[in-house]
A and B are shown apart, each in its own frame.
Chain A
Amino acid sequence: MTKTVTLGALTVAAFAAGAAGAATLDDVKARGSLNCGVTTGLVGFAAPDANGEWEGFDVGVCRAVAAAVLGDPTAVTFVPTTGKTRFTALASGEIDLLARNTTWTYSRDVDLKFEFVGVNYYDGQGFLVPKALGVSSAKELSGATICIQTGTTTELNLADYFRKNNMEYQPVPIETNGEAQQQYLAGACDVYTTDASGLAATRAAFETPGDHVVLPEIISKEPLGPLVRHGDSEWGDVARWTLNALIAAEEYGITSANVEELSAGTDSPEIDRILGTEDNLGAMMGLEPTWAKAAIAAGGNYGELFEKNIGENTPIGLSRGLNAQWTDGGLLYAPPFR
């Protein structure tokens, strides 16, 4: 009897909380903070530092969106999600934005009803092997034992690749990157496979990174990007154009250092429009005119975020590669702001 009564009380409490339920943008503004889903910890993309502050490339996207909407890059509640919980967390409204190196795939977009707002990192799956193994190509991996992180598109790509090349392998499914690293180093698997960026980050954490080599084959396309729920286009626009603003800012040379100076007015109409000096693009989305300025000031433009978190001068040491601006031969191409 007590049980049912208490449950009843819970429902009453839940009713009070559930009164809201309008558009995400209004929710976020009313709440005064953005709930952003990130990984439980992948150095360079999203991981808490020694003081428990989240930092990383994906975290930068969250902070930029928070800055654009609320004007405050610290107004973010980071919700660590696993491969298992991330989609539920987004679909059920626990988080407003999922920035957790998630691959844009057809079924996730169409079947699971999510909206990918763009690509913030073009990745691909690779293989990490010890040099001592004497392997120089993924084609020589027949019969190998391979450590995979579960809950990613990785295991699907792996199955496809080995099937296509008519090779055998033994998968060792592992929950977290940390454990995969241990098993790989102990020799419980010959190969560790995940996204190339993740391999670089993992290798960087080894005692002797030089003893291990990433094989040249990249076996899949992994466009990673932030995503929101289907059906709330206004909110999708906000996230999409914040990301575009960061990319465009790099193209036009707007950095966190000169954004103040440039917002006083320039002779480039495009920059003026982005920074809200000319026209009021922000009002069309229901944001302040200075939304993009705040987003860029939060952590810098795309290039700055990249260099600070995963670039060549960090332990992860990724080169821009496909993630360079289209003007430099990369794939980043922000649509025009007009």
Chain B
Amino acid sequence: MTTLSDPPGGSFRLSMLLNDTRYRSYTFQFIALVIVLGIFGYLGSNLMANLRAAGLNISYGFLGESSNYDINQTLIDYNSRSTHWRAALVGVLNTMLVALLACVTATIIGVIAGVLRLSPNWLVRKLMAGYVEAFRNVPVLIWIIIIFTIMTAVLPAPSAYRGEDPTASMLFGAIAFTNRGLYLPAPVWGPGSLFLGLVFLASIIGVFAYRRYAKKLLFDTGKLLPMGWPSLAILILPTLLFYFILGRPITLDYPALAGFNFQGGTQILGSLIALWWALAIYTGAFIAENVRAGIQSVSKGQAEAAASLGMRPRRIMNLVVLPQALRVIIPPLISNYLNITKNSSLAIAVGYMDITGTLGGITLNQTGRAIECILLLMAFYLAISLAISALMNVYNNAMQLKER
């Protein structure tokens, strides 16, 4: 709005608060603030009154008390004598674990499905469309339950591996699929494995160095070095070599049936697998659509221009289409990661002990401290979301700079 003329001096009337555009916004803001504060004050006073009437108080002291319950998947040291705080921490790590696994898997599935949806192959295209529609239009909770049911009701119990004539047998003699989860061989780090790890780290750096060199060579002289096979060789060969030179410092501990369960090896819980794959396949369908939209957003002329320069289809995809598509793909991709993290709270449906299961579940039930637990739970998710959004903003800003 433009200023019309000098304000009529002096005479301030009360009606101007509502009718004069200069003051009206203050009035509205004041009213809004009063209403919001009023609501908070009202809710707060109710809370106080209710708590006083019930003789309760808000206190986080219970976090320091011993939790007295056990958790079946702990990434850090934990037992039933640890505190509720520690239990919450175990839950946080479990949430992070399943979210991370699901994000990686969903990205892989989504990118493959998204690219295949644009494949020239009619059958593949239709199949992928079927996958995307089937998973996008059915609630994720139902998918979680379906996959969990596959895990518990279809896979054999460990007892099926027992006896003279077992009804189930281990894959390669090393991997057992049971309705309690997946039993895998676990690595045993012998002496010298630290050195091996260092060698592996060095080869990763070597791969990057090689790629840099190849790129520089390309830009300087136009000579094209092969990328794929040498990289793989640099990554694997030295480690493999030292593995045998050092006398196989890393051995595998195979799971074996003993007592009630398989012993040895690592167990991946059925509930983790169910949650992980349900989230991955469900979100993968959304990511596939993003990827497809991203690729289609790159104008066809770009690909045609690259083709007329004599580039091969794979190079066109890698060097021309994908870099441009990524700008469209990444922002929704990040919000899909956010959704995975939030949806992982459905762990409660399959009994996976994430933060909702420990802090928002057993701790809440055992201590009865509902308000405190749920506030902490919300604070945790809020912190994660804000962190991811901040990441997204940084990315968006970085991308915007390059735009003209």
Binding site for B on A (CB under 8 A): 1, 4-5, 7-8, 11, 18, 21, 83-84, 87-88, 91-93, 107-108, 111-113, 132-133, 141-145, 150-152, 155-156, 158-160, 162-163, 169-175, 182-183, 186-190, 229-231
Contacts and interface: CB of A to CB of B under 8 A. Distances in A.
Contacts of A187: 156-159, 179
A231 B362 contact: no
B70 A155 contact: yes
B80 A87 contact: no
Given A108-B368, A173-B362, A8 B39 contact: yes
A143 B362 contact: no
A188 B55 contact: no
Contacts of B365: 83-84, 150-152
Interface string B23-47: 0000010001001101100100010
B180 interface: yes
B32, B56, B81, B365 interface centre (most CB from chain A within 10 Å): B365
23 contacts: A7-B39, A8-B35, A91-B56, A92-B54, A108-B368, A112-B368, A113-B54, A141-B260, A143-B258, A145-B261, A151-B361, A155-B362, A169-B70, A172-B351, A173-B353, A173-B357, A174-B351, A182-B152, A183-B152, A186-B153, A187-B156, A190-B260, A229-B54
A5 B258 CA distance: 66
B72 interface: yes
A154 to B, nearest CB: 10
B270 interface: yes
Given A143-B259, A145-B260, A173-B353, A4 B366 contact: no
A171 B72 contact: yes
Contacts of B367: 107, 111
Contacts of B42: 11
Contacts of B351: 150, 172-175
B243 interface: no
Contacts of B357: 150, 173
B179 A186 contact: yes
Contacts of B39: 4, 7-8, 11
- The 9 A-B residue pairs with the shortest CB-CB distance in the complex, in nearest-first order: A187-B157, A151-B365, A159-B80, A113-B55, A143-B259, A4-B35, A87-B368, A91-B54, A144-B260
B46, B69, B259 interface centre (most CB from chain A within 10 Å): B69
A136 to B, nearest CB: 15
A277 B69 CA distance: 52
Given A93-B50, A143-B263, A159-B70, A112 B56 contact: yes
A4 B32 contact: yes
Nearest to B59: A111
B112 interface: no
B71 A171 contact: yes
A170 B261 contact: yes
Interface string B320-358: 000000000000000000000000000011010100010
Given A143-B259, A186-B179, 10 more contacts: A7-B35, A8-B38, A112-B368, A143-B263, A155-B69, A163-B80, A170-B180, A187-B179, A188-B152, A231-B55
